[in-house]
Amino acid sequence: MVDRDQQSSPYQAIAEDLQSQIKSGDLSPDSPLPSAQELAQRWDCELSAARRALIALRNVGAIYFLAGQGAFVAKNPPLVRTHWDRFQRPHAKPAYRQESDRAGMELHMEHSTERAEAPAGVAERLGIDEGDPVTETSYAISMGGSPVSFSVAWEPLAITGGTEIESPHEGPYGGQGIVPRFDAIGYAVDVEEEVLQVRMPEPHEEAQLDIPAGVPVIQIWQTFWAGDTPVEVAKIIYRADRYEFQYRTTIA
Q: Is the pTM value of this prediction over 0.85?
A: no
Look up residue 72 and give its DSSP letter.
E
What is the structure's pLDDT at 198? 95
Per-residue pLDDT of the chain (252 residues; tens, 9 = 90+): 444 444 468 888 999 999 889 888 899 888 999 999 999 999 999 999 999 999 888 876 788 888 788 999 887 666 777 776 677 777 667 777 777 777 777 889 999 999 999 999 999 999 999 999 999 999 999 987 889 999 999 999 999 999 999 999 999 999 888 999 999 999 999 999 999 999 999 999 999 999 877 889 999 999 999 999 999 999 999 998 888 888 877 776
What are the DSSP calls for 124-156, one per residue? Answer: HHHTS-TT-EEEEEEEEEEETTEEEEEEEEEEE
CA 136 – CA 156 distance, rounded (Å): 9
